Structure 1
Amino acid sequence: MTGYTTLHLAQALLPEGFAENVTLTLDHGVIMSVAAGQAAPAGATRLPGLALPGLPNLHSHTFQRGMAGLAERRGASEDSFWTWREVMYRFLDRLSPDDVQAIAAQAMVEMLEGGFTALAEFHYLHHDKDGSAYADIATMGGSIAAAAEETGIGLTLLPVLYRYGNFGKAPAAAGQRRFLNDRDAYARLIEGSEKAVAGLPDARVGMAPHSLRAVALEDLNWVAELRQGVPLHIHVAEQTREVEDSLAITGRRPVELLMQNTAVNERWCLIHATHLSDAERDAMALSGAVAGLCPVTEANLGDGIFDGVRYRAKGGRIGVGSDSNVEIGSGGELRLLEYSQRLRDRRRALWAEPSVSAGLRLWQDACAGGAQACGRSIGAIAVGQRADIVTLDAEHPAIVGKGGDFALDSAIFAASALPVAEVIIGGKPVVSGGRHIDRARIAARYGQVIRTLLS
């Protein structure tokens, strides 16, 4: 697919604020110049509506899109994350590499149509159905890379190290057999994953110790040293039971335990971090790490509410992710993040500042934090950044007649889904008129796979 070399944006969100009549020149998908207040030059591709830097999705398990809606029942016991997890284990037991690619591609199409332009895929489904390794240990990661190639989404692949079933090196459960690797196998998995994404434009491989439940404490520094400078992601303090188990077995709360055993810094993205003490929250904010928030999934699983107001007041960085992909959309994640704070504190516009609206600040914070967590030059319409751009439909009822932060606020808070018109990734169009250019084929394949899996 041929990429654009010159774009003219009717209105765009730049790092310094909103500007009109913005011309971008591109080279191999990278923004080389930005000029505002100019008429469109000859040969430029014109994009109407409000142009935004594409939002990175910093945490996803794409295969879980295929099981969305299958865990909304309860048994005789109280339902929770832990009972949901058993449904997830039963679903993933059926998946082949081709199934994973089909489901991942469908999820990625929905991400792109929902305003996400980059993905950090927290990938832990590594092995065959009986737990044995494929001949190529990165086969499943290759399926994720293939889905990214066919959809055009930017990819940071995060192969997960998963060794144990709980704190204190408890044995893994049967449902976790497809996740497990020792250190030697994990090192091979990283090498294989790097080969799998080598053909993708601007792709990155990071690393992810799954959680403090699933690795030994001594694994944390080993993983950090395996590759220097790449992103590091970990699930932490998502559930109150996790905090209770950590205290009972280690004598420390999860984030406290993490920080005592490795240097948490800008490389790290701490996923969920829902249940923190004041000291943990402040230390995390000061570390430079990103809080990877997944408000829709956290609500769906009954996790709890992240203390974003006080975390941000200490300079904490955030990004958002679609996690379980039970619902996919950048606007929905940001809206629920803000609404959860309002419901807890019974006040409004908590992410806003006196001169910056809630929607604008949410978008800017999530772009910056998401770009950091993905380890890529994305998240801004600026020189040196990948040309990942989302435009909003100026005629959509939620934003018609509005511009600037009023349009962005309305897109997030007054539309059922972000009113996306066009999406450009690395200078190439992937969504037109609100629909992915290969939507029909990908959806048809997905439907066939799901019907077979659920039959």
Structure 2
Amino acid sequence: MQRLFLKTARLPEGWERDVLVTIDATGRIAGIEADAVPPADALRLDGHAVPGMPNLHGHAHQRAIAGFGERAGAEGADSFWSWRAAMYRALDRMTPEDFEAVAAWGQVEMLKAGFTALGEFHYLHHDLDGSPYADPAEMSLRAVAAARETGIALTILPVLYAASGFGGLPPTEGQRRFILDADRFLALVARLEAEAAADPHLVVGIAPHSLRAVPPALLAEVLAARPTGPVHIHIAEQPREVADCLAATGARPVDWLYDHAAVDERWCLVHATHVTVDERRRIAQSGAVAGLCPVTEANLGDGIFPAEAFMAEGGCFGIGTDSHVSIGVAEELRLLEYGQRLVSGRRTVLSGGAGRSTGETLYLTTAGGGARALGIEAGRIAPGARADIVVLDAADASMIGRRPDSVLDGWIFAGNRPLVTDVFAGGRHVVAGGRHLHEDAIARRFRAALERLHA
């Protein structure tokens, strides 16, 4: 057992002072006592403690190209699709060692930003020439190894990718490292489940990449083989994807999915940006999580999800950093709210009601949605939950004069400084004084990998 004494903490029932948290040997919260007297053996933390934020969607390898896709191409030609082609080219030299170094550094950045769990939507399966590694799970296990070093909780989501477009179009050369059939995909999942059997911080789900990349019969086959556990899918991210789906199937992507699969609370529909009112309501009513990645969606010109209406309908959503072009909890939440303000012409759009804190509503809503999407008991400081706790600097200028119930407004909306001082992930003290416990060694490996990849 270990014990933490928190000056102020956001518990499910509200903000409390002098909170004693007891953490068991599995990294879960065994007990909580408010208005406590600090015992001599407790670690005292003077900042504002909030639940760690789950990052429900990321592609580790894309951290290696953050900021490298901002040079303009032919006039009017730059789009998600031109960026994707550039991303594919960047994979031509990435070895397993490079991938692990990049993944670990991205996870360090996440933890320092307040993310304590990650959904790794992982599709970089094969060697440089597209041939399988001796261990088909080589690259997935590199993501797992990175998470074990950094301490972030990992939901590994091996991606099924079989086609380059609707109608089962053959994969392109740029997709050679992604492609799996049903048998190889399910064997990969089984391999990862064996790895997770003795690891309480590792969850295995599945990720049919998208409707364009997974033909209907293949999608049905893998869903039948995996009746439980998280299911994540890219859907309705781009207008062209919607148009292609309509042309190929006669239905829009979300409608087609709901007509052909039993979508429920274990599903995460990533992006879901371009949806009709009826599609939006189907998502909300099913309990599926809308996986929103505002910074990446803005970077790629994807569009803005109708979050205000979705929230009013009881929809569940969380946040992810997707391409990792920038990694920050506050940045994702700020842009999520600001996008709704730009569309509506109003302020405090996602506050949830009169008199409520926009930052607190956003934070707690997305923390809960992210935990659901990742299949973990997290997103709250409560007995039985993972001990994922983020401590914010109470002495920072953005915290001056704040009552506890406006702390999250200060973090999200009153500046862009790093406020995270300490992070506990699964009870492990991975960030102290704003630095990760393995930061220097991981940074050296990341630097070496990027210098080689971009030489």
Q: So what's the TM-score if we normalise by structure 1?
A: 0.97
Match of 2:124 in 1: 125
- Between 216-225 and 61-70, report the one with greater CA deviation: 216-225
Structure 1 pair 99–115 and aligned structure 2 pair: CA distance change class (3 A): same
Q: What number of residue pairs does the alignment pair up? A: 452
Match of 1:162 in 2: 161
- Report if aligned partners of 1:386, 1:426 keep a CA contact under 8 Å in 2: yes
> Could you say what secondary structure the match of 2:179 adopts?
coil
Match of 2:36 in 1: 38
Of 42, 55, 59, which residue of structure 2 is paired with 1:57? Answer: 55
1:196 deviates by 4.0
Match of 1:278 in 2: 277
After superposition, residues 217-236 of structure 1 pair within 5 angstroms as 217-236=216-235
> Could you say what secondary structure the match of 2:69 adopts?
coil
Gaps of 5+ in 2: none
1:199 deviates by 5.5
After superposition, residues 408-423 of structure 1 pair within 5 angstroms as 408-423=408-423
- Give the Cα–Cα distance (whole angstroms) in 2 for the partners of residues 58 and 34 of structure 1: 27
Q: What is the one-letter code of the residue matched to 2:63? A: R
Cα distance per residue 1:363-402 (max 9 Å; x no partner): 1111110000010111110010010100001111111332
- Between 405-414 and 322-331, report the one with greater CA deviation: 405-414
Match of 1:395 in 2: 395
- Report if aligned partners of 1:330, 1:418 keep a CA contact under 8 Å in 2: no
> Could you say what secondary structure the match of 2:397 adopts?
coil
1:197 deviates by 4.2
- Give the Cα–Cα distance (whole angstroms) in 2 for the partners of residues 19 and 311 of structure 1: 31
Of 8, 15, 21, which residue of structure 1 is paired with 2:5? Answer: 8
- Between 109-118 and 16-25, report the one with greater CA deviation: 16-25
> Could you say what secondary structure the match of 2:399 adopts?
coil
Q: So what's the TM-score if we normalise by structure 2?
A: 0.97
> Is residue 2:17 matched to residue 1:25?
no
Match of 1:376 in 2: 376
- Give the Cα–Cα distance (whole angstroms) in 2 for the partners of residues 327 and 264 of structure 1: 31
Match of 1:92 in 2: 91
> Is residue 2:59 matched to residue 1:70?
no
- Give the Cα–Cα distance (whole angstroms) in 2 for the partners of residues 437 and 150 of structure 1: 10
- Report if aligned partners of 1:159, 1:208 keep a CA contact under 8 Å in 2: yes
1:407 deviates by 1.5
1:161 deviates by 0.4
> Could you say what secondary structure the match of 1:11 adopts?
strand
Cα distance per residue 1:26-54 (max 9 Å; x no partner): 11211111111122123111111110000
Gaps of 5+ in 1: none
- Give the Cα–Cα distance (whole angstroms) in 2 for the partners of residues 93 and 370 of structure 1: 32
> Is residue 2:347 matched to residue 1:348?
yes
User: Superposition RMSD on alpha carbons, in Å?
Assistant: 1.2
> Could you say what secondary structure the match of 1:377 adopts?
coil
- Report if aligned partners of 1:295, 1:337 keep a CA contact under 8 Å in 2: yes
1:175 deviates by 0.3
Match of 2:332 in 1: 333
- Report if aligned partners of 1:31, 1:386 keep a CA contact under 8 Å in 2: yes
Match of 1:240 in 2: 239
Cα distance per residue 1:253-276 (max 9 Å; x no partner): 000111111011001000000000
Q: What is the one-letter code of the residue matched to 1:422? A: D
> Could you say what secondary structure the match of 1:430 adopts?
strand
1:438 deviates by 1.0
> Is residue 2:207 matched to residue 1:204?
no
- Report if aligned partners of 1:269, 1:292 keep a CA contact under 8 Å in 2: yes
Q: What is the one-letter code of the residue matched to 2:41? A: G
- Give the Cα–Cα distance (whole angstroms) in 1 for the partners of residues 220 and 240 of structure 2: 25
- Report if aligned partners of 1:212, 1:236 keep a CA contact under 8 Å in 2: yes
- Give the Cα–Cα distance (whole angstroms) in 2 for the partners of residues 221 and 42 of structure 1: 57
Cα distance per residue 1:120-149 (max 9 Å; x no partner): 000000001111111110000010001001
Match of 1:256 in 2: 255
> Could you say what secondary structure the match of 1:398 adopts?
helix
- Between 117-126 and 407-416, report the one with greater CA deviation: 407-416
- Give the Cα–Cα distance (whole angstroms) in 1 for the partners of residues 147 and 342 of structure 2: 37
Q: What is the one-letter code of the residue matched to 1:447? A: R
- Between 423-432 and 398-407, report the one with greater CA deviation: 398-407
- Report if aligned partners of 1:136, 1:192 keep a CA contact under 8 Å in 2: no
- Give the Cα–Cα distance (whole angstroms) in 1 for the partners of residues 81 and 45 of structure 2: 46
